Structure 1
Amino acid sequence: MAGITGIGGSGLDIDKTVKALVAAERSPKQTQLDNLEKKSTTTITSLGAVKSAMSEFQSALSLINSPSLFQARTATSSKTDLLTATAGLKAGAGSYQIEVKSLATSSKVALASVADSANATFGNGTFTVKVGNTSLPAITIDSTNNTLTGVRDAINKAGADKGLSATIINDSSGARLVLSSTTTGAGEDISVIAGSDDGSGSVNLSKLNFSAPASGEPDPAVGPDDSAARIISRAESAELTVDGLKVISKSNTVDTAIEGLTLNLKGVTAADSPLTVGVSQDKGGVKTNIQNFVDAYNKLMGVISAETKVTPVGDGKAPVIAGLVGDAMARGILSAVRGELVNVPNGSSGVRSLADLGITTQKDGTLTVDSAKLDKQLTNNFESISALFTGDTGLASRLSKRLDPYVQTGGVIEQRDKSLRSTLTTIDKQKEALNTRMQAVEARLFKQFNAMDMMYAQLSNTASSLSASLDNMPWASGNSKK
């Protein structure tokens, strides 16, 4: 509502006066709501940061609490350019001498060439392509695909899921289909069975026929007819020896020769020059997970420290107060976690605590790792390390249980977050109510001040009229001289 200034000559700035009075009345409640909103928002942010760090720490605890971590094996090869190895949980620790005699190969054949392929067409009919004993779906040739290109595309469509593909190569005798298979191993050669067609084309479909020789039989000799079909490469099995024992594999990925160990063959070893494959406990993986545990713990400690800190800014300015300063929940988390770190279960032996692994607490509450001491314990007390971390009474499980009441669904942090968000909703409603009340106060004050101003004008007019009347009276000093 606009103010009316100085009606009747009062000269009072009603608008400025009313706004000042309204601001004075609004200020205490507005300040209270703003401060509560800022504190609630800051606390919500702090709770989110702490919960995130706690969840990350629990993830690290879950990884290190896995018995399979300590059962894992790692495999090494003395000649990784010729062979790599992967160890499973069942792989026995030890060393193996391996000679790779030959690699598994796949079949590749060139079918009979077709002269004048640009104009050649096949008659209508069907043919089948086989890889070893596996037949592809029968391929039908008709007017839509009776060219060499059409046959190629039909083979590629039929063989897409079987690892068989066809391409066209032009040589001195014409154009021919070359078929390639990804299936390795003896007996997996490509063959084509094509019967006679209906004679509607310039080339009979039977020209695509190709019979692979049986395993162990020699490849057919290439005669004087350059256009004849031929074998480019035969499908063969890999041959290797493991500690002198002969192994035959249809694939270059050999996972049945040594229990729990997968050998990936890449090349042939020199005669009488075997390579060595070693299998041992995966100490590197355990060390990595222990370091991840320490890193996640240190992050949690850092987040809690940052969210419970008062930071002075100097120059007489108010300090920056984090959202959980003086918070009992934060103190409870620190107490619970640190208490478990130094808790040594009764009856434990070997590696009994983190300190035995070279993991110690620094002045700021974070952990540091003595890598050399940890490596020594991994070598000498591997089983004890597993007992320290894993199982229902292990350190990882105990720490996780301490954190569960805070981070689980419906836990302490979630309940506090809901309560604070409810507070923010209440603050918004109170601000709306405050605005409504201040508008009413402003309207009332304008009404009162305008009424006062009008009354002042009326009184001023009356006073002026009386003064003029009195000046005209006979007894007035000015009139007596007339």
Structure 2
Amino acid sequence: MATTTTSVGSSILSALGANSGIDTSALVTSLVSATRDPRQSAITTQQTTNNARISALASAVSSLDTFADALSSVLAGADYKGTPNSSNSGLASVSLLTGGTPSGLPAQMVVKSLASARVYASTQATGATGSTAVGAGTMTITTAAGKTATITVGSSTNNSFSGLASAINAANIGVTASVVTDAKGTRLVFKGETGAANDFTVTTSATDSTSILAGLNSSAMTSTSDPANAKITLDGTDYEYASNTIDDAIPYLRIELTKADPTSTVNLSMSQPTATMKDLLKEYVDAYNTLMGALNTATSTGTDSSTAGVLNGVGAVRDMKTQLSKITSTQLAATGNYKTLSDIGIATNRDGTLTLDTDALDKAMAADPEGITKMLNPTMPTADNPGLSKLMDTVRDNLELDNGSLKLAQARYETLADDLTEQLEKLDEDMADYETRLTSIYSAMQTKLSALNATQSYLQQQIDAWNKSDS
């Protein structure tokens, strides 16, 4: 009887966990972790892959942009276009404008007169400085183009030579003012824009007719320069321009007039390019292969999923590679014996990279150097003769359309990134709720266990008493 009772008591103790030292806090943490970890690991794995794709796509787009922009920059440079020259830079200097190659050169130019602007100078105020008050009232400036600015003078900020000059400049109507101080005193100098059509007048209404402001009007000031156009003769034809900087006389050529001399002729010309189309094509093929090689690595299948490229299976990149591979067969010129890159020795390999057959290129260059130059780098790109730079720009623009596959893929992965972030946030919230529920459950269990322990102690006392009485 005693043995049986003791065994029952031990069983009760074991079942209730009495004196077992159960750490319910650690138990809750372990249960939460066991539930959270697999789900969190799956999400973070997706995040890692998705972020890698976002980065790789951005890198692919950036590389394409860099390639197209660099090609345009190289072809627009003097190495491939030549350098504009002026036989007399003391009369006129020249420089290239972006977008094309100057046409119509060489040309002969005569600078008959320079463009000038209306300039008014006020009477010098003896002993005055820039901070000297000019008086209260209004000043109105009216340009021949119909612009008007009225300045109320009298505040602490503009009732001075310097303050009024600042107010005039801030009006931004094509008339500037400056304060000039010398040994004889201080005055305001007004200057308009160059060109015969850019005259202006200044009128004032002063509270005090003896104030400096009263004398700051066109009728009272001295005109030291009249507005006039620049006049040139280009290949025997007369032209007039409002500015001494001329961008419209010869396409893609800026002419800066510095001095007039009707008796001198300035010869404008272009030096020959120092680089050849062969140099260009070698650099083009190398740069193209670098770009395509990076795309091939990013889309490689690998031996398994762990070694596959991060963009493997992304349709947008396949489309990008397909469009790039068509460049060698795309028409660059509508006429002539050579119309595509493949016609002059550039072939596309099976992996999308290019190969340049220098023998074939040399043969083509010897047969028609001018035709190939115009095909690759036309003076005025057109739809039928886009040239290599415009072709690359077109390919790039088509690939990067807002509703194109690349942009849609980028948007899709960005959306997935936001969704995965939200999933992790939701998981944190769910696990916090789960931990709260488990903590509540085990707290209640502990309460019940404490009550059972009390009952157990009472029963143990009774069992001990029974055992004594039996003995």
Q: Which category of TM-score, normalised to the shorter sequence, fits these structures?
A: 0.5 to 0.7
Work out which of the two has the higher radius of gyration on C-alpha atoms and give 1 or 2. 1
The CA deviation at 1:330 is: 3.4
Residue 98 of structure 1 pairs with residue 109 of structure 2: yes
The CA deviation at 1:278 is: 3.9
Aligned 8 A contact 2:398 2:404 in 1: no
User: Residue in 2 aligned with 1:32?
Assistant: 38
Letter of the 2:313 partner, please give it: A
Aligned 8 A contact 1:390 1:397 in 2: no
Residue 404 of structure 1 pairs with residue 404 of structure 2: yes
- Match for residue 41 of structure 1 among 47, 50, 62: 47
Aligned 8 A contact 1:100 1:240 in 2: yes
SS in 2 for 1:15: coil
Question: What TM-score do the two structures reach when normalised by structure 2?
Answer: 0.58
In 1, distance between residues paired with 2:429 and 2:82?
66
Aligned 8 A contact 1:74 1:87 in 2: no
Aligned 8 A contact 1:65 1:397 in 2: no
User: Residue in 2 aligned with 1:379?
Assistant: 373
Residue 439 of structure 1 pairs with residue 450 of structure 2: no
In 2, distance between residues paired with 1:356 and 1:405?
31
Aligned 8 A contact 2:178 2:188 in 1: yes
In 1, distance between residues paired with 2:413 and 2:108?
57
For these two proteins, the number of residue pairs brought into alignment is 415
Structure showing greater relative contact order (alpha-carbon pairs closer than 8 Å, 6 or more residues apart): 1
Cα offsets for 1:374-421 (capped at 9, x unmatched): 9x89736326883778789x7557755899346328975466556645
Letter of the 1:77 partner, please give it: P
In 1, distance between residues paired with 2:174 and 2:257?
22
Aligned 8 A contact 2:119 2:192 in 1: no
User: Residue in 2 aligned with 1:238?
Assistant: 230
Residue 177 of structure 1 pairs with residue 187 of structure 2: yes
SS in 1 for 2:22: helix
**More displaced stretch, 31-40 vs 156-165:** 156-165
User: Residue in 2 aligned with 1:252?
Assistant: 244
Letter of the 2:179 partner, please give it: T
Aligned 8 A contact 2:112 2:232 in 1: yes
User: Residue in 2 aligned with 1:13?
Assistant: 20
In 2, distance between residues paired with 1:125 and 1:370?
80
Gap change, CA 1:39 and 1:251, over 3 Å in 2: same
Cα root mean square deviation, aligned? 6.3
Aligned 8 A contact 1:50 1:300 in 2: no
Aligned 8 A contact 2:245 2:256 in 1: yes
In 2, distance between residues paired with 1:125 and 1:19?
84
SS in 2 for 1:330: coil
SS in 1 for 2:193: strand
**More displaced stretch, 96-105 vs 35-44:** 96-105
- Match for residue 351 of structure 1 among 316, 319, 340: 340
Letter of the 1:257 partner, please give it: A
In 2, distance between residues paired with 1:137 and 1:412?
53
Superposition map of 1:191-206 within 5 A? 201=210
In 1, distance between residues paired with 2:252 and 2:59?
37
In 2, distance between residues paired with 1:183 and 1:399?
45
The CA deviation at 1:102 is: 4.6
Letter of the 1:83 partner, please give it: S
Cα offsets for 1:340-382 (capped at 9, x unmatched): 44457989673246995588798xx8889999x89x8973632
Letter of the 1:439 partner, please give it: T
The runs of 5 or more residues in structure 1 that have no matched partner are 1-5, 212-228, 312-320, 472-482
Gap change, CA 1:14 and 1:253, over 3 Å in 2: same
**More displaced stretch, 201-210 vs 22-31:** 201-210
Question: What TM-score do the two structures reach when normalised by structure 1?
Answer: 0.57
In 2, distance between residues paired with 1:234 and 1:366?
64
User: Residue in 2 aligned with 1:461?
Assistant: 461
Letter of the 1:379 partner, please give it: T
Gap change, CA 1:110 and 1:419, over 3 Å in 2: closer
Gap change, CA 1:235 and 1:366, over 3 Å in 2: same
The CA deviation at 1:39 is: 1.5
